[in-house]
Amino acid sequence: MNSAKNVASAATAIIGQKVLPGMEREYEQWQEDLNTAAAYYPGFLGAEISRPTPLQPDWVVVYRFDSVAHLQAWINSATRQTYLDVGAKYFDGPATQQVVSSGTRSLDPLVTVVVTHRVPPNHVDDFLDWQHHMAEEERKFEGFRGTELFRPIEGLQEEWTTLYRYDSAEHLDAWLTSPQRQEVLAQGEKFNDFRLRTIDNSFGSWFAFEGNGKQAPPPPSETKTSLAVWVGLYPTVVLLTLALLPLHMPLWIGLLVGNLLSSFIMSFLTMPYYVNPLLGRWLRPPPDEPAARSNARGLGIVAMAMVFWAAVFYLVTVRF
């Protein structure tokens, strides 16, 4: 179990919202628009929406940014506040929010539980001992896949947050209803002011620790991110330019339309289906792979991809 996290690590915000009956479609469209706006903020890594399920009664949105600072800039932004003012007519009560920092996405679609505690400063040591005992008991149950504890984040979140994961709802329920858990909760009676939320497995792969509970590899550096975007942006922009060329639009209109289309294509096609599969191992290298070897391989792939596209577009625009 880890406690303190470096603020330079990746940050995840988990936001739950009850929606007024009959407003589900309008809310989902509004939330998708809000996520699109978030994508233009520095450090954005991704966002997903999860509909309510029997395990998860609220709508849940997960945002990932490359740092707490970038996530905080988005959470506190005037853009987001403007959207919240517009979307308030869809909400059935206030939203809940938890923020965790560090790690990366795992590939296993697990059931994740988010628990938040308000802990007085003079009780922190007792709380940590109690959490350690809780984790020891969790590990004894079938299907347990990992846990991690996150300290409060100044200016963003006052609560301590614990994430733990099981491989199925049945195994999770066995732990939640077990006499062992009730006994541990009774031992930590002074920490019984907590909130617990279960996130269905549609989001199990988004949370900030690996299935074995170990700290995951760091997020990509800004240099890697910039090169990855370059690999996707160049063919996208050139192909769009060629496609729009027969329309003979004025420069300012052509750029306006081209930028809009390239934003959608990059978000929904180029990055998820071309760049991420091509450069995923370089952007998120295995923890045991030497950095020099990973960077050499990644930069080699970048160079080959760009040479390939340059050759293709030279032949298309000059020779043919």
**pLDDT digit string, tens, across residues 243-285:** 998 998 898 898 899 888 988 898 888 888 888 888 877 876 6
Last residue of a domain, one of 206, 235, 265: 206
Q: Which residues are CB-contacts of 82 (< 8 A; sequence separation ≥ 6)?
A: none
What pTM was estimated for this model as a whole?
0.47
Q: Give how many domains the chain has, as a whole number.
A: 2
List the CATH number of the domain containing 83: 3.30.70.100
pLDDT-based confidence at 211, cuts 50/70/90?
A: very low
pLDDT at 275: 87
The DSSP code for 88 is G
Place of tokens 């329309």: 247
Residue 271 belongs to a domain: yes
More confident residue, 209 or 184: 184
Residues 6+ apart with CB under 8 A from 30: 83, 86, 87, 90
> Residue 45 pLDDT > 60, yes or no?
yes
**For residues 244, 245, 250 and 255, what is the CA-based torsion angle, rounded to 10 degrees?**
50
User: Which of 103-117, 233-247, 271-285 shows the lowest mean pLDDT across its residues?
Assistant: 103-117
- CA distance readout (Å), 215 to 4, 5, 103, 308: 12, 10, 6, 37
Please indicate, yes or no, whether residues 101 and 242 belong to a single structural domain of this protein: no
Task: For residue 215, tell me if it sits in a domain.
Answer: no
Q: Are residues 193 and 88 in the same domain?
A: yes
Query: Poorest-confidence range of 66-70, 150-154, 159-163, 292-296?
Result: 150-154
Concatenate the DSSP letters of all residues of 259-277 into one string. HHHHHHHIIIIIIIIIIHH
If one counts every other C-beta atom within 10 angstroms of the C-beta of residue 34, the result is 20
Of the residues 173, 206, 239, which one is the last residue of a structural domain? 206
Residues 49 and 190 in one domain: yes
- Comparison of pLDDT for 217 and 200, the residue scoring more: 200
Has residue 158 got a pLDDT over 60?
yes
pLDDT at 33 over 70: yes
